[in-house]
Structure formats: structure tokens, C-alpha cells
Amino acid sequence: MNPLKAPLNETEIRQSVSVVRREAGLDASAWFETISLDESGQFPSQRGAYVCCYEPVSNRTLAGIVLFESDELRGWHHIEGAQARILPDEFEMACELARKHEGFLQALKKRGLDDASKVLVESWSAGNFGSDEEQNQRIAYGHCWLMNDAGDNPYARPIANLHPVFDLAAREIIRVDDFGVVPIPPDPGPVRRPQQRQDLKEISITQPDGPSFEVDGYHVKWHDWELQIGFAQRDGLVLYDIGFNDGGRLRPIMKRAAMAEMVVPYGDPRAANFRRNAFDTGEYGIGVSLDSLTLGCDCLGYIRYFDIWTHDWQGEPRLIKNAVCMHEEDFGIQWKYSVPSADQTTVTRSRRLVVSSIATIGNYVYGFFWYFYMDGGIGVEVKATGIPFPSALEGGKPSPYGRTIGNQIESHVHQHVFSFRFDMALDGERNSVSEINFSAAPVGDDNPHGNAILTEETRFETELQAQREINARSSRYWRVLNPTVHNRYGDPVAYKLLPGANSFPFQHPDSSMGRRAAFMYKHLWVTPQVADEMYPAGWFPNQHAGGDGLPKWTAADRAIDNESIVVWHTLNYHHWPRPEDWPVQPVVYASFHWMPDGFFDENPTMDVPHR
């Protein structure tokens, strides 16, 4: 295990808080947005923590690095114009503010509601639409629901058109936006139904000889794979030093892999609904939202869990038990070949290593799954469940931007856009990226029967060339290759990035959301490896006007051919909610794959036992 990349422990979080409180000169009102492993590269041989604080009295966001061995704070500075993420503690605080605010209580009474304790108010980031308050205050925009009678669905009965507006720094409501009373939908009943079917037989998964993986701290060996489990308060699950043992030689593939941003833009422009745009990673944080996983429910079989330490806004450590789940599972046929004339069949079984975590972020629940296959493939999958954002029907019928999913309830069209960041190291530090496209050859002397298919490979030299979109028409995919290392056949070793089901954004590029999440307009970005270029919309998207992150960095059009590079892939799940998504959405899947593409000289699973 590489101890420099292990997640922070309880002692290190406490030390970080102590050093910052001692040396940063902060006001007593200041709180801790992030205490996470330092990955800046400024102190490569020392273990430390990146610490970001918010000081309400001055409306300042500040950050620096705590070095553990020397017990000192380095590089502490004010980040001009930045707003820290909105923390779970602020969500709770804002909800309580609303429940005691006279103007808000009067608005509830207009709707026949007298018990504010049953009302959920979520303080979403307000975004940035050019108003003065967004530039000078820490603004959050409230959305409201009424709990069901069973007490197991706080989103059961949407309270439409009612939005308390918060100054989170001052801890006050600056106004209540009320766009008119809409009837509150009836109680849909409990989520946990009392009548449960009895005809499903138990599935039992056993491994009498134990698992095939080995674990040393956070370092994992399985089959021919090696990797290290990591964690960041913002990113959540991080994987380091992914490599494959090929004939006794560990071949590096990626130095770091993680989901770097997730944004959910909604498509309803009416009243205050245009503000429903969430950067779930950059504005709230995935790591702080991880669930504690339960054996037999979230994970099935022989499970190895990893506990993770996070913290609250006062810097008090908080343990998430079973935050990361790892297991191996059978995955059907690996390969098969039959010789009927000899009455001979050879078949091998596939299995994969699964590393996963699940985060509950408000109404949605996201599972982040990483699959490692015996043939060298890597699968990345997001499983989305939870409750689609419910709104009350106005005038008894759905709006042009929504669909009826329940009794007097609609849910609006939206997208879940994920940006995955891969710090590549394919057989070495310097890599290149190319694009493969296929086309039909014109009929002619070289193609008299019209069946010829042409293949075109284009190697990118600079960043702007590598801003690319998916294209099913040309069966497009991308290859990461090492131009200085060749396989048996003289070709550069490579992995291909194979997109799965995907979509395009519908927000106008000049819209507030388009400017703030400009990364979503391209499915591929390639950048040089720079330590502080970690997040595609920048480090601080909360209330940011836009233009930061990938669009800003790549404007320099830096060289990326045979360089230390980072590959970014945008995965867009388009969601038009349906009645079957209510009251809780069945899991939907979005995924893509990395596949060896000339990385090996032959099928690497020929030694798997056959039957």
C-alpha cells in the first residue's frame, strides 16, 4: 500500500482542525468545508491534508495545506470570488430557519399547513443569474415538500411555487418568493408498503474457499489487477495506481480515476424552477454523502468493506462504516469455442471485481460502480434510484416541461451529466490519444459490391483538437496509446474508451447553466496533467458565473501528444420521468468501458480454467 494515498484517518482530521484553528487567524464563526487528502503535488514525499474553510463574518473562502509530520499550515490564502460548497449542516440549519420564519409560516397557512415540522425545505445553490445578491451574499434557494403521513417520504407532497431565499452567511431568510398557491397533492401512502410478496426464494452466494482478492490496508490484488482504494470529501470514491500483471510484469494503466463532477440541469423555465440546477459534486460533495452499506441489501456475497472518515462543518470527525464495498462476482461466459465435428466444446467462466459506493444526495440516490474484468477491461457504471424531483400539477394538468407521474404530481425533464477524470499512465508517463471513425467506402473499382468499410484514425496533437462528441453514425471511439511501447505486431499499445448510451445537453450554451457547466457540451476532453486541474467546472462552481475549468484551461491549446495526459469523459443520462418512477424510481443505468486495444499480444484469459 502507498501510505501517501490512503484516505485520512480520524487523528489526521483532528490534527488538521487544530493546526488551522491555531495558525489561520480565522474568526470563531469559520467552519470547515473540506479536510481531504492533499493531492496538490507540492509536497510529494509528505502526507498532508487540503483544508478549505468558509468564514461567514467576512464571506470569504480560504484554503491551504496542513503537513502532518511538521504540524504546520502552508499556503493559506483567500480565494477571491469563491463560495464554498453548501454542506449538510447548512441544509439542516436553513430548514430550521424556515420553520421559524414568520413570513414562511404565513405562506404555509395560505396553503392550509399549520405544522411546519412536517415540511422539508432544501437550500439548493442559487446558481448565478447576474443579480447583485448572488455576487455579494452566500445565497441559497429553497424548495419545499410536505412529508407523507407514514413519515418515510419527505418528498411525498410537493409545495409548489414557495421558495424561501437564504443568506447562509448571515443565517437568515432575506425574502420568501411566493408565485401563487397550487393545491398540494394528496398523500401517496408509505414507501415501505406493509404488504410484501412472499414468492421470491432466497439467492445465496457463497465462496467456501474465500475470495480471490488480497487486501493490504487499501491496496488490492485480484486476478492480475492491482489498485488502491482512495477517498476524497468532494469526489467520493477514488482509485489509484491501477495496473495489470502481464506475465509477471505490473503494467500501469491509470494513476488516478474518479468521478470529478456531476451536474443535474432541469428543463422547466417557469417561476423559480429555472434555478433547479445542481452541481452535486462541486456544490455539495459526493464523499460527505456516502451511505453506510448493509450486507445483504446494498451488497451481496463475500464482501470486503472499507470504512471512511469524513467530518462535519466544525471539523469533528465522522466515521462512515462500510462506505466502500468490494466483492467479486460471476459474470457468465468468458469465452467459448466449439468443434461440432469432434464433439468438443471449451468454455471458461468470467468473473469481475466490483468496487462501489452509494451516495444519497437529497431526493436522488447514486451508486458508483467500477468493474475490473479478467480480460483487462474496466467498466464504469452509475446506478440512479431515489425519487425524481416531484412538483405539484398546476391547473390539474402537466406543464410542457413535465409529465404526470403520480396523483396530481409531475416531474420535469432533466439530465444527469457526469464527468469522469482519468490520469493516464499507459505503460509509462507519456501517452497520446486518437479517434477512430468508420465510414462506407464509395462504390467504385475498389469497391464494386458496395461492402467496403473504411477506418480512419486521427491522432490529436493539442487540446482543442481533442474536444470531441460521440457519433453513432461513425461508430466513433477513442484510443489512449503509448507511442513508444509496441506490441508483438509493431503497433503502439493502447486502451480504447468505448462510450455507452449517452446524450447531448439541451441548455443553450450562453445560458447560465451552459456557461457554468460548459464541459458537458463535449464527451471527450484531453488535457496535460496539471495537479490543480481536478474539476471540469473549476474548484468552486457554487454561485460562479461560469467559464472556469476545462474551457478555461484548454483555451491555451496545450500539447497533448506523447505527454503526461488526463482524459475526461462526459456521460449524460437523459431523464424524462415516467409513472413507474413513482414513488421510488427503479434503478436506471448509465455506463461506459475501457477495453484493451492492442495492449496485450493475445487474449489474456487463455489460462483461465476451462470446462
**Degrees, nearest 5: CA angle 573-575-577:** 155
**Degrees, nearest 5: CA angle 24-30-34:** 80
Q: Which range of residues forms the domain containing residue 434?
A: 220-387+414-575+584-596
| From 364, 366, 371, 495, the catalytic residue | 364
214 backbone φψ class: left, alpha, beta (φ>0; ψ -120 to 50):
beta
Query: For the domain that residue 353 is a member of, what is the CATH number?
Result: 2.70.98.20
DSSP state of 281: I
Output b/e per residue, 577-609; b: 16+ Cβ within 10 A: beeebbbebeeeebbbbbbbbbbbeeebbeebe
Is the residue at 9 inside a domain? yes
102 and 74, same domain (yes or no): no
pLDDT at position 102: 97
Query: DSSP strand E in 362-441: where?
Result: 364-373, 378-386, 390-392, 402-406, 409-412, 414-424, 432-440
Across the chain, which distance is largest between two alpha carbons, in Å? 85
Output b/e per residue, 397-426; b: 16+ Cβ within 10 A: ebbebbbbbbebbbbbbbbbbbbbbbbbbb
* C-alpha grid cell, residue 227: 489498485
Is the residue at 212 inside a domain? no
Which residues have C-beta within 8 Å of that of residue 102, sequence separation ≥ 6?
none
Query: DSSP strand E in 266-301: where?
Result: 277-279
Domain termination site, one of 146, 178, 210 = 178
| From 178, 280, 561, 581, the catalytic residue | 280
Q: Do residues 242 and 254 touch, judged by C-beta distance below 8 A?
A: yes
Which has the closest alpha carbon to 490: 344, 598, 339, 375? 598
Q: Do residues 147 and 156 touch, judged by C-beta distance below 8 A?
A: yes
CA distance 551 to 538: 10
pLDDT at position 263: 97
Q: Do residues 115 and 100 touch, judged by C-beta distance below 8 A?
A: no
Single-letter amino acid, residue 124:
W
298 and 380, same domain (yes or no): yes
Output b/e per residue, 428-445; b: 16+ Cβ within 10 A: bebbbbbbbeeeeeeeee
The DSSP bridge partners found for residue 167 are: 139, 172
pLDDT at position 204: 87
pLDDT at position 611: 79
pLDDT at position 271: 87
490 backbone φψ class: left, alpha, beta (φ>0; ψ -120 to 50):
left
Query: DSSP strand E in 491-584: where?
Result: 492-498, 524-528, 565-575
pLDDT at position 60: 96
Peptide linkage before 583 cis (omega within 30 of 0): yes
33 and 103, same domain (yes or no): no
Distances in Å between the alpha carbon of 296 and those of 251, 325, 354?
35, 12, 15
> How many domains does one find in the chain?
3
418 and 566, same domain (yes or no): yes
What helix, strand, coil percent values describe the chain, rounded to 5? 15, 45, 40
The owner of cell 487486501 is 215
Burial class from Cβ neighbours inside 10 Å (0-12, 13-18, 19+) for residue 31 reads middle
* C-alpha grid cell, residue 72: 504546520
Is the residue at 193 inside a domain? no
CA 166 to chain centroid, in Å, comes to 27
pLDDT at position 343: 84
Single-letter amino acid, residue 340:
P
Assess whether 280 carries a catalytic annotation: yes
CA 460 to chain centroid, in Å, comes to 27
pLDDT at position 297: 82
74 and 135, same domain (yes or no): no
70 and 130, same domain (yes or no): no
Query: For the domain that residue 13 is a member of, what is the CATH number?
Result: 3.10.450.40
Is the residue at 95 inside a domain? yes
133 and 230, same domain (yes or no): no
69 and 97, same domain (yes or no): no
Single-letter amino acid, residue 413:
V
Ordered mean pLDDT values, 10 residues apiece, the chain (611 residues): 95 98 96 98 96 97 98 97 95 95 97 96 93 88 96 95 96 96 94 92 90 97 98 97 96 98 96 91 96 88 95 97 96 93 91 97 96 98 96 93 96 97 98 98 96 98 98 98 98 98 97 97 98 97 96 98 98 97 97 98 94 79
CA distance 304 to 322: 9
Is the residue at 383 inside a domain? yes
pLDDT at position 156: 94
Is the residue at 336 inside a domain? yes
Single-letter amino acid, residue 137:
Q
Q: Do residues 520 and 546 touch, judged by C-beta distance below 8 A?
A: no
Is the residue at 396 inside a domain? no
170 and 230, same domain (yes or no): no
Is the residue at 125 inside a domain? yes
SS3 496: strand
19 and 161, same domain (yes or no): no
End-to-end, the C-alpha distance of the chain in Å comes to: 36
475 and 557, same domain (yes or no): yes
Domain termination site, one of 178, 201, 228 = 178
Domain termination site, one of 43, 78, 113 = 78
Average pLDDT of the residues of the chain = 96
350 and 248, same domain (yes or no): yes
